[in-house]
C-alpha cells in the first residue's frame, strides 16, 4: 500500500502514452501498443494462451491485454484513483516497487 501513489502515476503515464486504456473502472495494458511484447520470453503472441491463469474479460481490445488497475470488489482492499476505487494489478505492483 505504500507504493500506491507510484503505481497510480505509472498507470496514468501508460494511459497518456497510449500503452493502456480504461474500461469503466479497470485499466488494461494494450500489448498491441508495444511491438517488443513477448521478446524477452522468446514467445510469439500466437503461442501465448489468454485465460490460462485468469478469467478472460471479453471487453478488452486484445484478449491478452492485462490489468494494471482493477475496480474495487467487496471484501478486497482498495484505494482511490482517477478511475475510481480499486487496486493495482500484479504486474504494475512489481514495476512500481523496483
Structural domain range at position 19: 4-97
Is 67 in contact with 27 (CB distance < 8 Å)?
A: yes
Query: What's the pLDDT band for 52 if we cut at 50, 70, 90?
Result: low
Cβ within 8 Å of residue 88, ≥6 positions away: 4, 7, 11, 68, 69, 70, 96
The dihedral through the CA atoms of 84, 87, 91, 94 has a sign that is positive
CB 23 within 8 A of CB 59: yes
Residue 62 belongs to a domain with what CATH number?
3.40.50.620
Report pLDDT digits (tens) over 3-43: 999 999 999 999 999 999 999 999 999 999 988 877 777 76
Nearest 5°: phi and psi at 91?
A: -65, -45
Distance CA 51, CA 31 (A): 15
Grid coordinates 488494461 are at which residue? 28
Domain tally for the chain? Answer: 1
pLDDT digits (tens, 9 = 90+) for 55-86: 677 889 998 899 999 999 999 999 999 999 99
Q: Is the pTM of this model over 0.85?
A: no
Amino acid at each position: 500500500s505504500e507504493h500506491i501513489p507510484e503505481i497510480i502515476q505509472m498507470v496514468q503515464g501508460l494511459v497518456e502514452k497510449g500503452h493502456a486504456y480504461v474500461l469503466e473502472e479497470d485499466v488494461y495494458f494494450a500489448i498491441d501498443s508495444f511491438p517488443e511484447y513477448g521478446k524477452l520470453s522468446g514467445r510469439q503472441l500466437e503461442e501465448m494462451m489468454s485465460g490460462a491463469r485468469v478469467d478472460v474479460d471479453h471487453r478488452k481490445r486484445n484478449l491478452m491485454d492485462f490489468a494494471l488497475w482493477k475496480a474495487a470488489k467487496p471484501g478486497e482492499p482498495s484505494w482511490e484513483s482517477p478511475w475510481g476505487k480499486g487496486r493495482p494489478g500484479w504486474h504494475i505492483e512489481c514495476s512500481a516497487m523496483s
